[in-house]
Amino acid sequence: MSTPPRVRFAPSPTGFLHVGGARTALFNWLYARQTGGTLVLRIEDTDRERSSEAHTQVILDGLTWLGLDWDEGPLFQGAHADRHREDALRLLAAGKAYKDFMTAEELTAAREEAKAEGRPFRYHRAEVGLPPEETARREAAGMPHAVRFAMPDEELAWDDAVHGRISWQGRDLDDFIILRSDGTAIYNLAVVSDDVAMRISHVIRGDDHVSNTPKQIALYRALGHPVPTFAHVPMILGSDGKKLSKRHGATAVGDYREEGILPAAMRNFLALLGWSPGNDDEVLPLDEVIARFDLGGIMTKPAVFDTTKLEWMNGQYLSMLPAEELLAPVERELARLGIDPAGRDLLPVIEAVKARSRTITVVAEQVAARLPGATLPRDDKAHKLIDKLGDRFAINLGLAREALTAVVESAWQPAHLETVIKAVAEEGGLKLGDVMQPIRVALTGGTVSEPVHELLAVIGRDESLRRITAA
Ligand code: GLU
């Protein structure tokens, strides 16, 4: 039996948990859960200036909210600076890296010279490096130096689990710095050093890292370690085809949480962002995603982040979930809106509105609109309806009120109320909609809701009649 995979999610705590990061985390998590593997969480906090503990916390909270747990960590990259340095020095001792005493000015001059002569600039020891005597002189003088990796002249190729074969030539890549003159390791070395130490078998990460991979492969080989499997997941674009950014709306997972998206819906949505189950299935329970997920099903072309689809997905989850499960988030939302349900049983109200709502926030607003004392601003569609019906708005509402007033409390039930409203329309020779819509506007301020007889039942007799009279 082969050893179960070890994967990692390695965010840099330099910002919030971006939806792209969350998607990468999810794919790693799905792979680990499906294969009985291990997910390591590694916080890549080596950029001291941009990293913060607050961001780390936001990332951990975001993962937890999404229901993504990890088996090891969080480990902090910064805590392993010594190992990174040792690995670099090992390469230096083995002659696979060299000391570079070139100053920043000299480097710039070399670049400009190449540009002036119209040749591509590549930092290769033989072409760009200082003459050996000069290197020796600077070394003897104790001048500061970086350590550069001597890029081998060989093919650096891998079978990407998503993209298939990708191949680079070492000679097309620079001898890149692995250790700065202050003794800190550069990104690519730190990542490889950590992935080796953590025995990572599969690196599942964003497409933006494809160009790092050949350098990392060269480092694995130089350090004498097997190269892991790489899977580069496609970028996420906004609906206009441009890289997803703030311009497209919320990009932080926390914003969607605020907007009332359910974690289960977000997870389902993210799973389908770049991965296909192989057919048109959209609403996939988590168990099924775990069972069906495969790296080969990840698409090579960029995924489009469609907010409308996310809301639709959320609506699907809202209608599937029992009202009980929505109670706590709705109560939180009501509290945020400053609304006190005053001991009212909210479950039937949530039940009535959840199927027609796309977010928890909307559920809460709809619930609030059905509680006594709600303010009911009329929306545009309501105004249009009133304009269209003219006098009939008040007349029809009056007829409905008369009939509904005759319904006693114990008979105030959906089925009976439906019969009463139908009778009003029939007796008055009116279109059913012309009776129902005015009631809806009177009860909610809008023209869309659950069926009117259910709406009346949810709001209750006294409050319904009060609203109709007020309208
Ligand atoms: N820290 C890197 C990032 O946030 C990920 C590194 C990796 O996955 O190899 O983009």
In the chain, the percentage of residues whose pLDDT exceeds 90 is 82
pLDDT score at 421: 96
Q: Please, which residues have CB within 8 angstroms of residue 104's CB and are 6 or more apart in sequence?
A: none
pLDDT score at 18: 94
Fold (topology level) of 380-470: Arc Repressor Mutant, subunit A (1.10.10)
Which amino acid belongs to residue 399? L
- CATH code of the region 81-191: 3.90.800.10
Judge whether 247 and 295 are in contact, CB under 8 Å. no
Judge whether 28 and 62 are in contact, CB under 8 Å. no
- For the segment 107-130, the average pLDDT, to the nearest whole number, is 86
Distance 308 CA to ligand 1 centre (A): 29
Query: Which residues, judged by CB distance below 6 Å to any ligand atom, belong to the binding site of ligand 1?
Result: 10-12, 44, 191, 205, 209
Judge whether 244 and 250 are in contact, CB under 8 Å. no
Residue of 120 and 67 predicted with greater confidence: 67
220 φ/ψ angles, rounded to the nearest 5 degrees: -55, -50
Is the peptide bond preceding residue 74 cis, with omega within 30 degrees of 0? yes
pTM of the model: 0.86
Judge whether 37 and 6 are in contact, CB under 8 Å. yes
- For the segment 370-393, the average pLDDT, to the nearest whole number, is 92
The domain locations on the chain are: 81-191, 322-374, 380-470
Judge whether 181 and 146 are in contact, CB under 8 Å. yes
- Nearest residue to 63 (alpha-carbon basis) of 204, 266, 201: 266
List the single range of 80-94, 126-140, 302-316, 408-422 with lowest mean pLDDT.
126-140
- For the stretch 225-282, pLDDT in tens is 999 999 999 999 998 888 888 788 788 999 998 888 999 999 999 999 999 998 999 9
Catalytic residue, candidates 115, 242, 243, 246 = 246
Is 60 exceeded by the pLDDT of residue 1?
no
**Substitution site in 205, 208, 210, 212 for ligand 1 pocket (most atoms within 8 Å of beta carbon):** 205
Distance 209 CA to ligand 1 centre (A): 8
HSE, side-chain direction, 13 A CA sphere, residue 316: 18
**Substitution site in 7, 12, 201, 219 for ligand 1 pocket (most atoms within 8 Å of beta carbon):** 12
Task: Return the biggest CA–CA distance within the chain.
Answer: 108
Distance 206 CA to ligand 1 centre (A): 8
Q: Measured between alpha carbons, how far is 360 from 1 in angstroms, rounded to an integer? A: 46
Q: Measured between alpha carbons, how far is 268 from 254 in angstroms, rounded to an integer? A: 16
Q: Average per-residue pLDDT in the chain?
A: 94
- Nearest residue to 243 (alpha-carbon basis) of 20, 22, 16, 14: 20
Q: How far apart are the first and last CA of the chain?
A: 73
pLDDT score at 114: 87
pLDDT bin (cut points 50, 70, 90) of residue 373 is confident
pLDDT bin (cut points 50, 70, 90) of residue 60 is very high
- Ordered alpha helix ranges (H), 151-249: 187-197, 213-223
The DSSP output letter for 446 is S
Q: What kind and span of H or E run contains 237?
A: strand 236-237
